[in-house]
Amino acid sequence: MMRRTTEVTMGDIARMAGVSESTVSRALAGSSLVAAKTRQRISEIARNANFSINEQARNLALKQTRTIEVIFPIERGTLQQVSDPFFVDMLAVLTDELGKHGYDVLMSRSPPWDEDRPGCAFLGARADGVIFVGQGRHRSDIRDFARKHGKVVVWGAVSPGDDYCVVGSDNVGGARMATTHMLQLGRKRIAFLGDTDLPEMRQRFEGYCDALKAHDLPIDESLVIHTPFDIEKAREVSQPFVELFPRFDGIFACSDMIAIAAIANLRQAGIKVPEDVSVVGFDDIPSSAHVSPSITTVHQRIHRAGMLMVERLMGILEGGAPEPVVIETELIVRQSCGAH
Amino acid sequence: MMRRTTEVTMGDIARMAGVSESTVSRALAGSSLVAAKTRQRISEIARNANFSINEQARNLALKQTRTIEVIFPIERGTLQQVSDPFFVDMLAVLTDELGKHGYDVLMSRSPPWDEDRPGCAFLGARADGVIFVGQGRHRSDIRDFARKHGKVVVWGAVSPGDDYCVVGSDNVGGARMATTHMLQLGRKRIAFLGDTDLPEMRQRFEGYCDALKAHDLPIDESLVIHTPFDIEKAREVSQPFVELFPRFDGIFACSDMIAIAAIANLRQAGIKVPEDVSVVGFDDIPSSAHVSPSITTVHQRIHRAGMLMVERLMGILEGGAPEPVVIETELIVRQSCGAH
DNA sequence: TTGTACGCGTTATCAA
DNA sequence: TTGATAACGCGTACAA
């Protein structure tokens, strides 16, 4: 992985082995053009000389990078707050899956469109493709970028009009299940906690509305609370909301983090979950099974998602134009809804 | 970031501007050797032609990569379980800080020593330096690697004998504070939950022992429970442990995740936290403030840690040999210990 | 089966 | 102030 201070090159190996560089190149690539015996000898010498190929030079010659840029459009400065375990899991899957295809992962937090690189103001060719993990507030930027550069796969809300490849959970269906579940438990006045400016959350809001409509219930705007993703702020925002009790008897939270924050505030106000209020979250982060009360939530199939994204990106790199995918979600019933 | 299908090169720009490639190169690098007027004109042309420099070729010529490899020695296949928010935060800080110095981050889960790369079996020179986020069970591997390649900074347990640069929290001090705190609250029989095979956890165990000794209390081996990091397994392991109650009245958990798992098991068994048992965790993950009861824990200064690691790595790249750092920890008192 | 010669896109050295 | 020319380390037609 690392450059040694005194780099040994193919030329060195060639000299040691008394052959040409080309032969070394072929031998190390496992080409059948080179005699098995020669190949073995060269491999041996290379190993002993502690030779490691210079990927940079190799890639330059091959006109490839064997690298995929993974971009998490996470707001800057929100350390200790964006800590959604979702990201680690996704990153782990992507790293593994891309690795299987021989690709490295280049991390990025600054999207390609803010061109404030040090030195020169131009974009560099550092990756063969890009994966955006989340569209956030940058939907149109991403669309422009995708149009321009092609090799892009995006995690997020899948919409009919997308002209680039998006992979995402069935947010609408998941939210509908969650809300319907509480309605079936007899809850009537269900609040929505989330940030409807984000497309993914917008879809969850739609599912929430669907469920209410299907039960002939009106949407009470005063129970739709614009709650940020970040757990600290979520707690702040849901603080005054709690005082609306008993105007609500159920909460659909757009994420488990928000659910955890809301429950903390409810308990502090002496309101019992799930006795007084049912709560359902979204994501199924590990903690959600282990906090008390454990959280009923909508499970996102992250592993499958990561695999599909990589599979699709590979398809694009091979010249295909894979279809977007909506991944089904699943309701995990635990304690916070009061079903048990 | 991405390679365009038809790449425009410096040669193209040179031709358009009617100058040589060298001049273009200098102009774009902002060299004062080139006439201000020429430089302006070339910049203009490059911008219009939508030119982006090929970092690969540039780096090859410069004999650098402007990339740091960040390795998370996370066990494979432990998806949905390693989801420690700690990692996201650390990754975010590292990405930002390295970015400030003009470095990209290359993610990795497979350490350099398992040489099972596809294609050829040799390591590639892909990065100017390596940051290991955690030593895990690979301490000797890391030491070998560091000796061989030099440009390495490691996050983890700082020990006197280290011959490479380690940055880590004051695990001993943190654990001592945590344990002492419970002792001062009148707890006498404090259990330890953690994996003492990992050097970081080993240090926390030492701090735990220190505190007990300082209070003339013996170390009850039956209350030292080998608990894995992973929250699912932590819950399994701490299940039978709970039955030992009332042989213990306090728990020092090596991580907040373990603390959360243990509290869930205690509650399920009808044991109250903090009334019956005090619990203190480690890490101060965001959830720990928002679960109920909120968790008293030892805060790790992740932001500072990331900054220091990058600062030190930069020092090494410039030929220095920076000292290891131990970062002080802080006890955050919340509900689970029973102080309030 | 192996070697020669050139190209990948950029930077650096030396002249001019 | 600018322009040839030679690296940088490797892959690959083409020739041998």
From A81-95, A172-186, B17-31, the region with the lowest mean pLDDT = A81-95
- Highest CATH level, class, for B67-168+301-327: alpha beta
Q: Convert the pLDDT of each residue in A196-231 to its tens digit.
A: 988 899 999 999 999 999 999 999 999 999 998 888
What's the pLDDT score for residue A6?
A: 57
* Length A35 CA → D14 C1' (Å): 20
Domain ranges of chain A: 2-62, 67-168+301-327, 171-300
Name the fold adopted by A171-300: Rossmann fold (3.40.50)
Q: What is the mean pLDDT of residues B79-107?
A: 77
Using pLDDT thresholds of 50, 70 and 90, give the confidence band for residue A258. very high
Say what percent of chain B tops pLDDT 70: 90
Q: Convert the pLDDT of each residue in B284-330 to its tens digit.
A: 988 898 888 999 999 999 999 999 999 999 999 888 899 999 999 99
What's the pLDDT score for residue B120?
A: 32
Q: What stretches of B61-139 adopt beta strand conformation (E)?
A: 67-71, 104-108, 129-133
Q: What is the mean pLDDT of residues B172-190?
A: 97
- State the first-to-last Cα distance of chain B, in angstroms, to the nearest integer: 53
Residue A281 pLDDT more than 70? yes
Residue A99 pLDDT more than 90? no
Q: Is the C-beta atom of A33 closer than 7 angstroms to strand D?
A: no
- Which CA-bearing residue is nearest the C1' of C7? A61
Under an 8 A CB cutoff, do A89 and B110 touch? no
Using pLDDT thresholds of 50, 70 and 90, give the confidence band for residue B7. confident
Return the H-helix or E-strand segment holding B233: helix B231-242
- Show residues of chain A in contact with B13, CB under 8 Å: none
- Show residues of chain A in contact with B51, CB under 8 Å: 122
What's the pLDDT score for residue A11?
A: 92
Structural contact between residues A303 and A95, judged by C-beta atoms closer than 8 angstroms: no
From A113-117, A189-193, B31-35, B39-43, the region with the lowest mean pLDDT = A113-117
What's the pLDDT score for residue A248?
A: 97
Q: How does the average pLDDT of chain B come out, rounded?
A: 87
Give B146-152 contacts, CB < 8 A, sequence gap 24+.
Answer: B149/A2, B149/A4, B150/A2, B150/A5, B150/B316, B151/A2, B151/B313, B151/B316, B151/B317, B152/A2, B152/B316
Q: Convert the pLDDT of each residue in B197-245 to its tens digit.
A: 888 999 999 999 999 999 999 999 999 999 988 888 899 999 999 999 9
What's the pLDDT score for residue B142?
A: 85
Q: What is the mean pLDDT of residues B105-122?
A: 56
Residue B17 pLDDT more than 90? yes
What's the pLDDT score for residue A3?
A: 44
Q: What is the mean pLDDT of residues A271-288?
A: 94
Tokens of B286: 């965001």
Residue with tokens 């032969």: A23
Three-class DSSP category at B93? helix
Rounded to whole angstroms, the Cα distance separating B66 from B58 reads 10
Q: Which of B71, B62, B136, B74 is nearest to B313 (CA)?
A: B71
Under an 8 A CB cutoff, do A56 and B65 touch? yes
Shortest distance between the Cα of A273 and any Cα of chain B, in A, equals: 11
Return the H-helix or E-strand segment holding B167: strand B165-169
Name the fold adopted by A2-62: 434 Repressor (Amino-terminal Domain) (1.10.260)
Q: Is the C-beta atom of B7 closer than 7 angstroms to strand C?
A: yes
Q: Do domains A67-168+301-327 and A171-300 have the same CATH topology?
A: yes
Q: Which one-letter amino acid corresponds to residue B20?
A: S
Q: Convert the pLDDT of each residue in A119-143 to its tens digit.
A: 333 345 678 899 998 887 778 888 8
Using pLDDT thresholds of 50, 70 and 90, give the confidence band for residue A117. very low
Q: What count of CB pairs under 8 Å joins A to B?
A: 255
Residue A300 pLDDT more than 70? yes
Q: Convert the pLDDT of each residue in A42-96 to its tens digit.
A: 999 998 888 888 888 998 898 888 889 988 776 655 543 444 667 777 888 898 8
For B89, B133, B156, B175, B323, the CA distances from B305, given in Å and listed in that order, are 11, 11, 10, 18, 14
Q: Convert the pLDDT of each residue in A305-318 to its tens digit.
A: 999 999 999 999 88
Tokens of A149: 């550069």
Under an 8 A CB cutoff, do A53 and B5 touch? no
What's the pLDDT score for residue B8?
A: 86
What's the pLDDT score for residue B181?
A: 98
What's the pLDDT score for residue A173?
A: 98
Q: Which residue has the higher pLDDT, B331 or A159?
A: B331
A positions 253-282 inside 8 Å of B (CB): 257, 260-261, 263-264, 267
pTM (2 decimals)? 0.85
Q: How does the average pLDDT of chain A come out, rounded?
A: 87
